[in-house]
Amino acid sequence: MSQTKILLDESEIPTHWYNVVADMPNPPAPVLGPNGQPVTPDQLAAIFPEALIEQEVSSERWIEIPQPVREIYKLWRPSPLFRAHRLEKALGTPAKIYYKNEGVSPAGSHKPNSAVAQAYYNKEAGITRLTTETGAGQWGSSISLAGQMFELEVRVFMVKISYHQKPFRRSMMQTWGATVIPSPSDQTEAGRQILAADPDSNGSLGIAISEAVEEAAARKDTSYTLGSVLNHVLLHQSIIGLEAKKQFEKVGDYPDIIFAPCGGGSNFGGVTFPFLADKAAGKAVRLVAVEPGSCPTLTRGHYAYDFGDAVGLTPLTKMYTLGHDFMPPGIHAGGLRYHGDSALVSQLYHEKLIEAVAVDQLPTFEAGVLFAQCEGVIPAPESNHAIRACIDEALRCKASGEPKTLFFNLTGHGHFDMAAYDRYFAGELDDYPLPQEAIDRALANLPKI
Amino acid sequence: MSQTKILLDESEIPTHWYNVVADMPNPPAPVLGPNGQPVTPDQLAAIFPEALIEQEVSSERWIEIPQPVREIYKLWRPSPLFRAHRLEKALGTPAKIYYKNEGVSPAGSHKPNSAVAQAYYNKEAGITRLTTETGAGQWGSSISLAGQMFELEVRVFMVKISYHQKPFRRSMMQTWGATVIPSPSDQTEAGRQILAADPDSNGSLGIAISEAVEEAAARKDTSYTLGSVLNHVLLHQSIIGLEAKKQFEKVGDYPDIIFAPCGGGSNFGGVTFPFLADKAAGKAVRLVAVEPGSCPTLTRGHYAYDFGDAVGLTPLTKMYTLGHDFMPPGIHAGGLRYHGDSALVSQLYHEKLIEAVAVDQLPTFEAGVLFAQCEGVIPAPESNHAIRACIDEALRCKASGEPKTLFFNLTGHGHFDMAAYDRYFAGELDDYPLPQEAIDRALANLPKI
């Protein structure tokens, strides 16, 4: 049997991140301020350090990964590439299935790839405190880990209902030394206003963002951090695809199709963009973003300027969006419940360089359970989306007899999502079919610019 | 900086397990039946397949690892050996600290190393069903995973109070296709008797063992499986130490002292026994079993014949024991709450070839949190025992200026133990100091033979 686990030595960790902007047919659409004018780097300086702002607007193809970041990466990177022999056999497919396991990071997902970089640049800029918001806790725990590694104080505003419902992600953040604050809190003006109006508010990601940004903007020693969507986040995540390319080279193979779950776009961009460079050079590789049927940003949204948050505080980004006041149903893949998408992913989708497909919740859990039974690892609900789409393609290959090489990104493990699996086994999960009216309603409220 | 992560390729997975019996100064003391006579292999055949019984009594030094077992091992093995550079720096010690991360298995601990082997030999023997008991769920989830890999039905009798208190380990077992039965159940005579006397019984590990053994003994298609204590389990776990030796060779280093948590002895034996062979050949390596101060089997128990279970159903084993009716306090390191120990570990301790040390619960969590903050991984409470003892030695090295090479086994991650960390942060944990009278009382009830 051919190799199961394709490893790289830590000396093979890429030395540079890949910036897809260098290979895009058109420059990225500008981000606009409330006045409709492009946002300048200066305006971002209140909440981000200069090095990250430079990366946000850079069009350089390769950006060096600082040595201290690579040292931290060594704690879990390079992540292994697996050939899913047992899954192939269970499906009876002639396709070859590979997956990259990003769940091996201490926080259990790909998120620390950017968190470590963000913590490093903030430390270098003399920042001593980081703020962020978190819902389910994947990003909050990653920035807590990264802050600890660079001795930064980390303050995570955690949506209050999640704070109480998901105590274990909270304990994880506390173990890494972060302060976790149920949001809305009395520690910011935004939080106090909400509490005055509704003392029992359960909070929302929008409110938590407001609190985290307010605190960062108010203090010179404090920066705000974001775990997806922004260009510099996707840049840092390119480490996934760059490693994967080296790993495929080691076994003399190359993917025909790559599947990655897509919410804000950070893991999708991270794993696929380095392959997009090859596509630009003529390789026939297909890159497929997999999103929830109940939050189908790329497949059913509009390509338009919209706010990144629910309440309209952020600059306007040109992206695929379901409308900033679209409220995604309560699916368990919390990381994919986002009305918008990364500007880079959106533009590349608009220009037909990447594809997208939507899958429903129940089939994703079915796929995740089959994967766990074959390969061992229990995947995060977000990862189950990529697994579903990959299995569907493997079954098409079975029908057609095509021995395609398929590759998906296993973004994280499901150790903190077992309640979701419980509900799946108990028959309590829903697909939440999304009527067109719900999308139309939200799209009617797109900002007019 | 020297290497952080020392990897082996899957082609370097050892081809043979190491059996320490071949290198012991004296043959293992016989296991005795209720009549005081040595138990014969025949008597074990009702609940174990022949291949495992042969391994249980074998004195061959090397036993080949079947190819199908090695194929499954490839899903996570060889496990990485880490140099804990950041922990060394935080301690300011001249000592070098290495750890082997067994938490990378799908079940999150070293337990699948034996579970996979046991499932394989049962499958080969034509067995179609496995039973076992589980408390916290580490072993139950490992045998569920392994059973799934070899298409065996798995029935886990889970202590009823744990079944309700630890639903996520249960969901994990169900994801891998096992049936999890709260014990006491109405499915066995033993369970029905308990329920008749006390319908609200919370269950105990002793009761769950009785149910699992009864079902295995009653059916020809069914075997019983055990996750520690027995010789064949320690044999399978020797893969840990064998890999570690290759990894130390790669970096040209060798441990002066090895620390491993010790409950039933499976990971301790697994990681240290392959080094014991070197010790027999003159190497000055020290092997230290680390146990809880509140369940100090080796450090405060007697070396005597005793039952392996609480209720006196098992054969009698010569081992260090606190007495089979010793009830360990409710520490969170559930895997170390055992009144006895492996016969092999006990005999080697009695013959002074290995050492033991006891550490209290609070200092183990303190050590685990420091480790997590330095190295990222949040350890299981059992692993925190080894970390504590290793840190104590590193601090002694700091005082003396000795640059010793220390090595400990990180038996598993703590993703399913975050409630314990919560209680630690909340100041709710106890060290449970153990009065001598409690030990004396239990030892007074040792069986008279």
Residue contact B5–A71, C-beta within 8 A = no
Residue of B143, B165, B175, B373 to mutate, testing the A interface (most A Cβ within 10 Å of its Cβ): B175
| Chain B residues close to A168, C-beta within 8 Å | 415, 418-419
Whether residue B193 is found in the same domain as residue B139: yes
Q: Are A266 and A110 in contact (CB under 8 A)?
A: yes
Instruction: Specify the pLDDT at position A166.
Output: 84
Smallest CA–CA separation between A238 and chain B, in Å?
22
Residues of chain B with pLDDT > 70: what percent?
Answer: 100
Q: What is the CATH number of the domain that holds B405?
A: 3.40.50.1100
Task: Tell me, yes or no, whether A244 and A192 share the same domain.
Answer: no
Q: Please identify, among A185, A200, A226, the residue that sits at the C-terminal boundary of a domain.
A: A226
B368 in helix, strand or coil? helix
Residue A310 has pLDDT above 90, yes or no: no
Is A14 contained in some domain?
no
Q: Could you tell me the pLDDT band of residue A1, with boundaries at 50, 70 and 90?
A: low
| Model confidence at A315: pLDDT above 70 | yes
* B222-224 vs A222-224, strand pairing mode: unpaired
Least CA distance to A73: which residue of chain B?
B4
Where does B74-204 have alpha helices with state H?
85-91, 112-124, 138-149, 160-165, 167-175, 189-197
Encode pLDDT of A174-195 as tens digits: 999 999 999 999 999 999 999 9
Q: Which of A87, A168, A371 has the highest number of chain B CBs within 10 A, making it the mutation to test binding with B?
A: A168
Q: Give the mean pLDDT of A318-346.
A: 93
Q: Does B366 touch chain A (CB under 8 A)?
A: no
Most confident of A305-314, A340-349, B307-316: A340-349
Residue A350 has pLDDT above 90, yes or no: yes
Q: Who among A372, A376, A415 is closest to B415 (CB)?
A: A415
* A291 and A146 assigned to the same domain: no
B10 touches A at CB < 8 Å: yes
Give how far A425 is from chain B: nearest CA, Å: 8
- Model's pTM, two decimal places? 0.97
Chain B positions touching A106 (Cβ under 8 A) are 372, 375-378
Same domain, A265 and A350: yes
| DSSP code, position A331 | -
| Same domain flag for B292 and B428 | yes
- pLDDT tens, A23-40? 999 999 999 998 899 999
Closest by alpha carbon to A53, among A45, A65, A62? A45
Q: Using CB atoms, pick whichever of A7, A175, A372 lies closest to residue B378.
A: A175
Q: Residue A50's CB: how many other CB atoms inside 10 A?
A: 13
Asked whether the beta carbons of residue B4 and residue A71 sit closer than 8 angstroms, the reply is yes
Which residues of B are less than 8 Å from A419 in CB distance?
A: 167-168, 171
Q: Decide: residue B310, CB within 10 A, 0-12 exposed, 13-18 middle, 19+ buried.
A: buried
Q: Which residues of A touch B82 (CB under 8 A)?
A: 75
What does the pLDDT average to over B134-142?
A: 92
B321 shares its domain with B394 = yes
Q: Is A419 an interface residue toward B (CB < 8 Å)?
A: yes
Q: How far apart are CA A141 and CA A134, in angstroms?
A: 9
Separation of alpha carbons A247 and A236, rounded Å? 19
Q: How many CB atoms lie within 10 A of CB B34?
A: 14
User: Mean pLDDT across the stretch B323-346?
Assistant: 92
Q: Is A438 on the interface with B (CB under 8 A)?
A: no
pLDDT (mean) for A217-234: 96
First to last CA, chain B: 58
Q: Is residue A360 part of a domain?
A: yes
CB contact B369 to A (< 8 Å): yes
B281 and B175 within one domain: no
Give the pLDDT mean for A95-111.
98
Q: Considering the domain boundaries, does residue A430 fall inside one?
A: yes
Number of compact structural domains in chain B:
2
Contact between A419 and B171 using a beta-carbon 8 Å cutoff: yes
For A141, which residue in chain B has the nearest alpha carbon? B376
Residue B56 domain-assigned?
no
**Does residue A188 lie in a domain region?**
yes
B174 chain-A contacts, CB cut-off 8 A: 421-422, 425
Contact with chain B for residue A37, Cβ under 8 A? no
Which DSSP helix (H) or strand (E) runs through B224?
A: strand B222-224
Using an 8 Å Cβ cutoff, are B372 and B418 in contact? no
When scoring B8, B12, B71, B75 by the number of chain A Cβ atoms within 10 A, the one with the most, hence best to mutate, is B75
Cβ neighbours around B58 below 10 Å, total: 15
Helix (DSSP H) and strand (DSSP E) numbers for chain B: 18, 15
pLDDT value at B1 more than 80: no
Is the Cβ–Cβ distance between A74 and A33 less than 8 Å?
Answer: no
User: What average pLDDT does the segment B391-402 reach?
Assistant: 98
Looking at chain A, the whole-number percentage of residues with pLDDT higher than 90 is: 90
What is the pLDDT, as a whole number, of residue B327?
A: 87
**Measured distance CA(A134)–CA(A159) in Å, rounded:** 7
A416 contacts B415? CB cut-off 8 A: yes
Which residues does chain A have within 8 Å of residue B7's beta carbon, measured at their own beta carbons? 7, 9
Q: State yes or no: pLDDT of B206 exceeds 90.
A: no
Cβ neighbours around B35 below 10 Å, total: 8
Q: Which residue on chain A is closest to B143 by alpha carbon?
A: A376
A220 near B CB under 8 A: no
Both B392 and B273 in one domain: the answer is yes
Strands A405-410 and A96-101: parallel
B311 and B344, same domain (yes or no)? yes
Q: In which element (H, E) is residue B136 found?
A: none
Which chain B residue has the Cα nearest residue A375? B75
Residue B311: per-residue pLDDT: 77
Q: Which of A404-408, B43-47, B152-156 has the lowest mean pLDDT?
A: B43-47
Note down the domain range covering A158.
112-226
pLDDT classification of B139: cutoffs 50, 70, 90: very high
d(CA A380, CA A395): 22
Domain-located, residue A424? yes
Q: Are A412 and A332 found together in one domain?
A: yes
Q: What pLDDT score was predicted for residue B27?
A: 97
Distance from CA of B93 to the nearest CA of A (A): 19
Question: Is B175 within 8 Å of chain A by CB?
Answer: yes
Q: How far apart are the first and last CA of chain A?
A: 58
* Distance of alpha carbon A359 from alpha carbon A386, whole angstroms: 9
CB contact under 8 A, B373 and A148: yes
Q: What is the largest CA-CA distance in chain A?
A: 65
- Asked if A376 is an interface residue toward chain B (Cβ–Cβ < 8 A), one would say yes
Total residue length of chain A = 449
DSSP state of A295: S
Q: Which residue of A has its CA nearest to B369?
A: A175
Res B414: pLDDT:
97
Contact B179/A at CB under 8 A: no
How many Cβ pairs closer than 8 A exist between chain A and B?
107
Cα A160 to Cα B406: distance, rounded to the nearest angstrom: 43
Listed residue (B203, B190, B216, B198) closest to B44, CA to CA? B216
The position carrying tokens 């290497």 is B3
Taking only the tens place, the pLDDT of each residue in B222-270 is: 999 999 999 999 999 999 999 999 999 999 999 999 999 999 999 999 9
Looking at the structure, tell me whether residues B339 and B381 fall in a common domain. Answer: yes
Q: How confident is the model at residue A393 (pLDDT cuts 50, 70, 90)?
A: very high
The per-residue pLDDT of chain A, averaged, comes to: 96
Q: Do A172 and B4 touch (CB under 8 A)?
A: no
Chain-wide mean pLDDT for chain B?
96
Do B257 and B368 lie in a common domain? yes
Residue of B nearest to A104 (CA): B104
pLDDT confidence of A2, banded at 50, 70, 90? confident
A279: in domain: yes
The pLDDT assigned to A448 comes to: 87
Q: Cβ(A100)–Cβ(A83) under 8 Å?
A: no
- Residue A42 in any domain: the answer is no
Which chain B residues are within 8 Å of A10, Cβ to Cβ? 3-5
For the segment B354-382, the average pLDDT, to the nearest whole number, is 98
Sign of CA dihedral A130, A133, A139, A140: positive
Q: Residue B196: its pLDDT value, please?
A: 96
By the CB < 8 Å criterion, does A151 face chain B?
A: no
Tell me whether 0.95 is exceeded by the ipTM: yes
The answer to whether the CB of B132 falls within 8 A of the CB of B139 is yes
Domain boundary, last residue among B226, B258, B284 = B226
Which letter does DSSP use for residue B32 in this model? B
User: Which of A167, A376, A416 faces B75 most closely, judged by CB atoms?
Assistant: A376
Residue of chain B whose Cα is closest to the Cα of A151: B373
Please tell me if residue B428 touches chain A, with a CB cutoff of 8 Å: no
Lowest-confidence segment of A15-24, A200-209, A315-324 by average pLDDT: A200-209
pLDDT in tens, A154-178: 999 999 988 988 889 999 999 999 9
Q: Helices (DSSP H) in B264-320: which residue ranges? A: 266-280, 297-300
pLDDT reported for residue B313: 81
Determine the pLDDT at residue B401: 98
Amino acid identity, position A106: P
Last residue of one domain, picked from the residues A203, A226, A249: A226
